Amino acid sequence: MSILEVQGLTKRYPSFLLDGVTFSMEQGRVMGLIGRNGAGKTTTLKSIFNLVHPDGGAVRIFGLEMPRDERAIKQRIGYAGGAVDFYSRKKLSQIVDVTKRFYDDWDDDACRKYLDAFSLDKNKTPRELSEGMRVKFSLTLALSHRAELLILDEPTSGLDPVSRAELLDAFLFLKKKGVSILFSTHITTDLEKCADDITYIARGKLIASEPLASFMGTNAKAGHGETLEEIMVHYEKESLYEKLADERV
Amino acid sequence: MKSLLMKEFKLAASPLAYIFLVGALMTLLPGYPILMSAFFICFGVFHSFQNAREVNDVLYTALLPVKKSDFVKAKYAFTCIIQLCGFILCAALTAVRMTAFSAAAPYVSNALMNATPVFLAFVLLIFAAFNALFVGGFFKTAYKIGIPFLTFGIATLLLVALAETLPHLPGLSFLHDPAGEKLGAQFAALAAAVLVYALATVFACQKAKKRFERIDL
């Protein structure tokens, strides 16, 4: 069953066009949204979450329509960005106390469990946490309201290797529990460890959206590379050397 | 809505919003443009908006299962509650000046605006300007606060100048009169200001909701 369906998502900025992106995601899967910096990953995720207004296309989550059913959808999904931190000088306990009031299915026991599991001290403030711990706190908030779909924007960017490995372990655990995860990244090794599917966007256009194994197989056969990194470089590389050597410039 | 209002007080508000309520004490200063008390009360609320911007309050709220329009309403509700507290303090101090201290020499010889219901009317007009120009201006972008506050500051100066000038015009000296001889007319001015405040706030809130709905975060 498709938990997320994105149809022809289009968003125009003066210097960028997200051009009719279409993909879908099944329940209980981990999908990596990949592309180089500026490819349109964040615009795609923000459009799905109705943080930006698409110029065209449709988004359906749990069979409900965004933005028409926005409130019902947001009761069941969680969002975390890697670099964003909220209320940096407030205690985690205060943020939890306020956040729980907005969700019908908030689970205090689950909240305590994830705070403990992620070694989060609720008397600390976000500014006292490392970037990895802040992502874990966002995950805790999402999981405490029993989010069925997590949308994560570059959650592993800026993390040290150990924190990244821990976070990827958490993704695998959540996947086993039936939670679906869509996360954007340009760190291809993260995907090789935990993604079932990938959606690849380049310059605002969809290159592929399919199971990771089939994407790797097809590209290996075509000689585009054996690893995700090699495949991305194949699709994306512009010869900077030639540009610099161009005497007309 | 109740949860959003609680979020405003517990997470988004700056302590300065409460501390600057002390600005209401300016109502007691003789020889001072006491309307600046309204400006300082609004200045505290401005700090809350600045604080909210710095702690990513807008994005946090946008991720919650709430309507964007409710977020705007909660910001206006927070602003109005702080303003109401400030107004009650100004009104109480005005009552003290008009009764217990009515014969006090510094107030009798006061050349600037006296604390009367007309003063309270101008307090409300400054609050209305804040709600329309600053809060309404903030929701054009949900992050720019400089130009909206500058606009409000200019409007405040004009209102203070108007309030200080009017009683010196022929036939309008009663506006300045703390003795209460034309108390009915003064209260009529206050009632008109209550209406202007309510209409300006409701209109500004409606407009801000539409503006905020269009913004890409």
* Model pLDDT for residues A27-79, shown as the tens digit of each residue: 889 999 988 888 888 899 988 888 899 999 999 999 999 888 999 999 999 88
**Which of A83-92, A170-179, B55-64 is predicted with the least confidence, judged by mean pLDDT?**
A83-92
Q: At what angle do helices B36-54 and B117-129 cross, to 10 degrees?
A: 30
Verify whether the Cβ–Cβ distance A84 to B7 is below 8 Å. no
Q: Which of B10, B59, B65 sits opposite A98 (nearest CB)?
A: B10
pLDDT at A224: 84
- Predicted-complex ipTM score: 0.83
Mean pLDDT of all residues in B161-168? 90
Average pLDDT, chain B: 91
Verify whether the Cβ–Cβ distance A102 to B3 is below 8 Å. yes
Q: At residue B147, does pLDDT exceed 90?
A: yes
Q: Report chain B's terminal Cα–Cα distance, integer Å.
A: 21
According to DSSP, residue A59 is labeled E
**Is any Cβ of chain B less than 8 angstroms from the Cβ of A83?**
no
Q: At residue A242, does pLDDT exceed 80?
A: no
Indicate which of B58, B63, B213 best probes the interface with A, i.e. most A CBs within 10 Å of its own CB: B63
**Is any Cβ of chain B less than 8 angstroms from the Cβ of A98?**
yes
Question: Which chain A residue has the Cα nearest residue B67?
Answer: A71
Question: Which chain A residue has the Cα nearest residue B70?
Answer: A71
Question: Which chain B residue has the Cα nearest residue A79?
Answer: B63
Between A247 and A94, whose confidence is greater?
A: A94
Q: At residue B100, does pLDDT exceed 60?
A: yes
Identify the band that residue B67 occupies on the pLDDT scale cut at 50, 70 and 90: confident
- Chain B residues touching A70 at Cβ < 8 A: 65, 67
pLDDT at B44: 95
Verify whether the Cβ–Cβ distance B66 to A86 is below 8 Å. no
Q: CA-based diameter of chain A, in Å?
A: 66
Average pLDDT, chain A: 86
pLDDT at A240: 63
Bridge partners (DSSP) of residue A8 are none
Looking at chain A, the whole-number percentage of residues with pLDDT higher than 70 is 95
Verify whether the Cβ–Cβ distance B217 to A89 is below 8 Å. no
Q: Please spell the DSSP secondary structure of B60-123, one letter per residue.
A: HHHHSSS-HHHHHHHHHHHHHHHHHHHHHHHHHHHHHHHTTTTT-HHHHT--S--SSHHHHHHH
- Chain B residues touching A103 at Cβ < 8 A: 65
Between B128 and A226, whose confidence is greater?
A: B128
pLDDT at B199: 97
* Cβ-based neighbours of B161, under 8 Å, separated by 6 or more: none
Q: At residue A179, does pLDDT exceed 60?
A: yes
Q: At residue B159, does pLDDT exceed 90?
A: yes
Q: Which of B12, B55, B216 sits opposite A53 (nearest CB)?
A: B216
Q: At residue B66, does pLDDT exceed 60?
A: yes
- Chain B residues touching A102 at Cβ < 8 A: 3, 64-66
Q: At residue B179, does pLDDT exceed 80?
A: no
- Smallest CA–CA distance, residue B217 to chain A, in Å, is 5
Q: Which of A46, A71, A90 sits opposite B66 (nearest CB)?
A: A71
User: Between the ranges A28-37, A200-209, B13-22, where is the mean pLDDT highest?
Assistant: B13-22
**Is any Cβ of chain A less than 8 angstroms from the Cβ of B1?**
no
pLDDT at A239: 59
- What's the one-letter identity of residue A148? E
Could you tell me if A3 and A148 are in contact, meaning their C-beta atoms sit under 8 angstroms apart?
A: yes
Q: At residue A1, does pLDDT exceed 80?
A: no
3-state secondary structure at position A233: helix
Verify whether the Cβ–Cβ distance A70 to B65 is below 8 Å. yes
pLDDT at B107: 76
What confidence tens digit (pLDDT) does each residue in A220-236 have? 888 888 888 888 888 87
Mean pLDDT of all residues in A125-141? 85
Rounded CA separation A22/B99 (Å): 73
Q: Which of B7, B56, B67 sits opposite A84 (nearest CB)?
A: B56
Q: Where are the alpha helices (DSSP H) in chain A?
A: 41-48, 70-74, 92-99, 108-117, 131-144, 161-176, 188-194, 212-221, 228-236, 240-245
Q: At what angle do helices B68-98 and B36-54 cross, to 10 degrees?
A: 150
User: Between the ranges B54-68, B129-143, B157-171, where is the mean pLDDT highest?
Assistant: B129-143
Q: Report chain A's terminal Cα–Cα distance, integer Å.
A: 53
Separation of CA B92 from chain center: 16
- Smallest CA–CA distance, residue B73 to chain A, in Å, is 16
Verify whether the Cβ–Cβ distance A71 to B62 is below 8 Å. no
Q: Please spell the DSSP secondary structure of A4-36, one letter per residue.
A: EEEEEEEEEETTEEEEEEEEEEETT-EEEEE-S
Q: At residue B208, does pLDDT exceed 90?
A: yes
Rg (chain A; Cα; Å) = 19
Could you tell me if A118 and A133 are in contact, meaning their C-beta atoms sit under 8 angstroms apart?
A: yes
Identify the band that residue A155 occupies on the pLDDT scale cut at 50, 70 and 90: confident
Indicate which of A62, A64, A69, A101 best probes the interface with B, i.e. most B CBs within 10 Å of its own CB: A101
Verify whether the Cβ–Cβ distance B7 to A98 is below 8 Å. yes
- Give the residue extent of every domain in chain B: 2-214
Identify the band that residue A163 occupies on the pLDDT scale cut at 50, 70 and 90: confident
Verify whether the Cβ–Cβ distance A51 to B56 is below 8 Å. no
Q: At residue A161, does pLDDT exceed 70?
A: yes
According to DSSP, residue A87 is labeled S
Q: At residue A249, does pLDDT exceed 70?
A: no
- Chain A residues touching B214 at Cβ < 8 A: 53
Rounded CA separation B25/A221 (Å): 79
Q: At residue B214, does pLDDT exceed 60?
A: yes
